[in-house]
Amino acid sequence: MKSVLVKPLRILIWVLVSGYVHCQRTGVVNIGAVYTHNSVIGRVAKVAIETAVADVNGDPSILKDTQLKLIMEDVDCNVFMGAVKAFEVLEKEVVAIIGPLSSSVAHMISMIANSFQVPLLSFAATDSSLTSLQFPFFLRTTQTDSYQMAAMAELIYYYGWQNIIAIFVDNDYGRNGISVLEEELGKRMSKISHKVALPVQFNLSSVADLLNKSKLVGSCVYVVHANPNSGLTIFSVAQHLQMMTSNYVWLATDWLSTTLDSLSLVNGTLLHILQGVVGLRQHTPESSHKNAFLSRWKEFQKRGLVRSELITYGLNAYDSVWAVARSVDEFLNEYGNVTFSHKKMGNLPQEMYKTFDGGIFLLEK
């Protein structure tokens, strides 16, 4: 009789202990951040992301006994490095990836994120061809270029400008952005007269050569859709070629305001070069949270933690971390813990990487 009672008792204890372990809430959740660190946006994003993680971990109203662990990697604005670094953070079992900045890199990492079922939140990839229809695990926490190109086309239409020349970087971001502008101009019975595609790594001589060729068209309206890190070079060359006069109209997408907003001090020479240039800026609604973060940013600058001014993409990066944290909180409240499983991924060894079992459910949060 004794052996008959002891065996069921052991089974009951094992079931209770196993159930307790299974329901225990995960103590640490890893999130990745993959982007170009040494860039106009990246320098701001790094501080914003790290601050957001610290704020989440210090807030008792969210994630309870769970801490976020940040794993950051630098892709150096390179598609190949983007893929390599994405695999590196996925190997560390992250539940979400924040970034990248580049639309070209975002295309690559989105395909990887889809395969591993890990949400990818980009706070700076504005290429409108990046959609959740093609990449279900891609989430955008910024505006697409569709908005600013519609505004740009409306501005051109309002003033009745003709001879539109588009200057853009020859990558996904540049080509697709100008394609949207072309569509928006077409809706208003206008068109782009000439396109000037700049190499991704352009220099002064290549810009000068292309601008000189565009001068043959005559007086024009130039729309510049470039990167924050190198776009100012275009205007420097244009001034040298005497193209910053009243015979020309210069318009710039939000890369210019992003560059200028990031500078703590704008020198007189730069202001002189940009005199007369009209640029667009993303709108962020005023709020007490935004003003409080701006005040904190000023303190960061005083303490030497950051040199750049706070820009819109920095706010987006900060909010992206909080979006992940709230989603993870809801996920853990419902499912209790985070698990990963080995699955066959194309030609990759099955034991090499794990997919996030709850990726689809976290995405829905």
For position 349, what pLDDT does the model report?
A: 58
For position 64, what pLDDT does the model report?
A: 87
For the chain, percent of residues with pLDDT exceeding 90: 69
Asked if residue 282 has pLDDT above 80, the reply is: yes
Average pLDDT, the chain: 88
Whole-model pTM: value is: 0.88
CA distance 106 to 100: 6
Asked if residues 116 and 186 have their Cβ atoms less than 8 Å apart, the reply is no
Confidence class for position 351, pLDDT limits 50, 70, 90: low
For position 347, what pLDDT does the model report?
A: 62
Asked if residue 14 has pLDDT above 70, the reply is: no
Q: Fold for domain 145-279? A: Rossmann fold (3.40.50)
CA dihedral 253, 257, 258, 264 (to 10 degrees): 160
Task: For residue 183, give both structure tokens.
Answer: 């569509």
User: Domain extents for the chain?
Assistant: 27-143+286-364, 145-279
pLDDT in tens, 47-82: 999 999 999 999 999 998 899 999 999 998 899 999
CA distance 217 to 164: 10
Which has the higher per-residue pLDDT, 101 or 13? 101
For position 355, what pLDDT does the model report?
A: 78
Asked if residue 18 has pLDDT above 60, the reply is: no
Architecture of the domain defined by 27-143+286-364:
3-Layer(aba) Sandwich (3.40)
Asked if residue 362 has pLDDT above 60, the reply is: yes
- From the list 335, 355, 329, 361, the residue with the least C-alpha distance to 93 is 355
Q: What average pLDDT does range 317-336 have in this prediction?
A: 92
